[in-house]
Amino acid sequence: MIEKRNKSAVVVGAGLGGLSAAISLCAEGFDVRIVEKNDKIGGKLNYLEKEGFGFDLGPSIFTLPQIFRDLFARAGKQMEDYVEIEKVTPHWRNFFEDGTRIDLYEEEDLMRREVEKLAGAKEKNWAQFQEFLNYGRSQYSMIEGGFFSEGLDTLWEFLKYYNVQLNNGVMDYRNSMSKSIEQRIDDPHLRMIFEYFIKYVGSSAHDAPGYMNLMPIIQFDYGLWYVKGGMYNLARGLGKLCDDLGIKIDLNTEVESIEKDGFRKVSGIRLANGETLSADYVVCNMEVIPAYDKLMGINGRFLKRAGKKFKPACSGLVIHLGTDREYPQLAHHNFFYSKDQNKHFDTVFKKGELPEDPTIYLVAPTRTDPGKAPAGCDNIKILPHIPPIDPENPLPESAYLEMKERVIDKLERMGLTDLRKHTIVEDTLTPIDLQEMYYSNRGSIYGVVSDWKRNYGFKFPKQSSKFKNLYFTGGSVNPGGGMPMVILCGQKVADRIVKAL
């Protein structure tokens, strides 16, 4: 039985971060209400049903199930009663222009067999692979023990907590992610694979701090999963949990403003229909910069400085194809690598241009869930990373469509023969669409970029620097983007609010 605190919170946005914060606060005895502008919950965890094909519009990979279980446990529930997950194997299939194909497995014997396919000394390649994972484990252990579990939020908190590890060099923060990979791995294919784990946070391996090499451990030690029946069933499960807890969710409800109450407080929100919802706390699941700008009218120098430090992570060209044939060479998750991945990173993240030859992430969910396409057909999601919208020089729709054709050309060249010819259903989302659908900052998918020089790998803090009872959650907030991280963010928001009582 949840003991009531006589405190209220209103949550702006029913993305995963907002749902997590709402559930966590409700479990602490708060009266909670969620308002969402779209017609369904889940935020970027979205779906499209079209002519027998079921497309996951947003996240496609489920990792770190323990973080999700913790959320349900806070409410006195078991995740398995709301959401079923199953392991995906292999984790990824990696395709290279030279014809090399490498699968990633959680099982050591299967992974060793894959590594030994590579040119060069088999024992050396395998030894380096294992040593790299051990190094990644050391980074994961440190970050999980403080940044994740303690919900560290500022550079000062980080330095105070990690003083010894920073000073004795155990934490890898001086090198970039790619530099630390280069120092430990000789094989060029393995280097590219480990670099592209940065896809989880939409950043560049050239700019992210070395400790971000913790990301392979998320898969190799904790597994890679799929939500049975489709990824959106996670949102449905969280929605059912909200119903069971009595959390009211208003869909198709646009927020016009977060209302200020004096100098350092907010009093609630005003809806587009003129209704005002008062609350002791406001938790905003809209990204921080658009929220300050659109909902509070705070911009000018403050947002300009914040925009430089907390630059948006990359966007993507999201292409969904239904084909009238299957492509048996595909696994559930696939990567088709650029001939020059260094150039790909620099083009997207330094020049802010559409890449000529991107590394492409491709999902074929029917390998695990045949019901996502009609019999004999394939359901294919294609996602190359591209820059967010440049508001001063926005690209026309035609530029994105031209890139789409280059992407299809590349996939056909690398083995998906006659992909155009066999496409019978199609849907494409550009950064323009993503910005309109989710109010993401410049169409970003992953929130704030992880860049040591700009922000030390930090995102916005959970508590507003301007209003003491305004909090933020989601991919633009620590610990950052990706489903487990935004679920964790919502929980840590609630912890901070409770601690401040």
Q: Are residues 133 and 243 in the same domain?
A: no
* pLDDT on residue 154: 86
Q: Are residues 184 and 267 in the same domain?
A: no
Q: Is residue 280 part of a domain?
A: yes
N-term to C-term CA, the chain: 21
Side-chain-facing half-sphere of 138: CA atoms under 13 Å: 13
Cα angle for residues 431, 437, 438 (degrees, 5° grid): 90
Provide the domain count of the chain: 3
Q: Are residues 277 and 333 in the same domain?
A: no
Whole-angstrom Cα distance, residue 499 to residue 501? 6
Whole-angstrom Cα distance, residue 494 to residue 477? 14
Q: Is residue 1 part of a domain?
A: no
Q: Are residues 118 and 203 in the same domain?
A: yes
- Residue position matching structure tokens 């009218």: 297
Per-residue model confidence as pLDDT tens for the chain (501 residues): 677 889 999 999 999 999 999 999 999 999 999 999 999 999 999 999 999 999 999 999 999 999 999 999 999 999 999 999 999 999 999 999 999 999 999 999 999 999 999 988 889 999 999 999 999 999 999 999 999 999 999 888 988 898 867 767 789 988 999 999 999 999 999 999 999 999 999 999 999 999 999 999 999 999 999 999 999 999 999 999 999 999 999 999 999 999 999 879 999 999 999 999 999 999 999 999 999 999 999 988 998 999 999 999 999 999 999 999 999 999 999 999 999 999 999 999 999 999 999 999 999 999 999 999 999 999 999 999 999 999 999 999 999 999 999 999 999 999 999 999 999 999 999 999 999 999 999 999 999 999 999 998 999 999 999 999 999 999 999 999 999 999 999 999 999 999 998
Residue 450's nearest CA partner among 215, 156, 216 is 215
For residue 266, CA distances in Å to 222, 260, 295, 306, 492 come to 40, 4, 12, 21, 20
Q: Are residues 167 and 214 in the same domain?
A: yes
Q: Is residue 352 part of a domain?
A: yes
CATH number, domain with residue 13: 3.50.50.60
Q: Is residue 200 part of a domain?
A: yes
Collapse the DSSP code of 323 into the 3-class scheme (helix H, G, I; strand E, B; otherwise coil) and give the result. Answer: strand
Collapse the DSSP code of 333 into the 3-class scheme (helix H, G, I; strand E, B; otherwise coil) and give the result. Answer: strand
Q: How far is CA 440 from the centre of its chain?
A: 13
Q: Is residue 373 part of a domain?
A: yes
Q: What is the dihedral of CA 308, 311, 317, 320, to 10 degrees?
A: -160
Name every residue whose Cβ is closer than 8 Å to that of residue 287 and which is 6 or more positions away in sequence: 439, 440, 441, 444, 447, 474, 475, 476
Q: Are residues 162 and 197 in the same domain?
A: yes
Q: Is residue 450 part of a domain?
A: no
Name every residue whose Cβ is closer than 8 Å to that of residue 258 and which is 6 or more positions away in sequence: 12, 266, 268, 269, 282, 284, 291, 295, 296, 470
DSSP of 140-195 = HHHHIIIIITS---SHHHHHHHTHHHHHTT-S--SSBHHHHHHHH---HHHHHHHH
Q: Are residues 305 and 319 in the same domain?
A: no
* pLDDT on residue 1: 63
- Residue position matching structure tokens 């005003």: 270
End position of a domain, from candidates 202, 223, 244: 223
3-state secondary structure 83-103: CCEEECCCCEEEECCCCCEEE
Q: Are residues 191 and 271 in the same domain?
A: no
Q: Are residues 213 and 267 in the same domain?
A: no
| pTM reported for the whole predicted model | 0.96
End position of a domain, from candidates 401, 423, 445: 445
Q: Are residues 371 and 345 in the same domain?
A: yes
For residue 447, CA distances in Å to 255, 295, 311, 329, 420 come to 20, 18, 9, 33, 32
Q: Is residue 296 part of a domain?
A: yes
Q: Are residues 96 and 130 in the same domain?
A: yes
Class of residue 150 by CB neighbours under 10 A (exposed 0-12, middle 13-18, buried 19+): middle
Which domain, by its residues, includes 433?
314-445
Q: Is residue 121 part of a domain?
A: yes
Whole-angstrom Cα distance, residue 457 to residue 454? 8
End position of a domain, from candidates 223, 257, 274: 223
Q: Are residues 165 and 256 in the same domain?
A: no
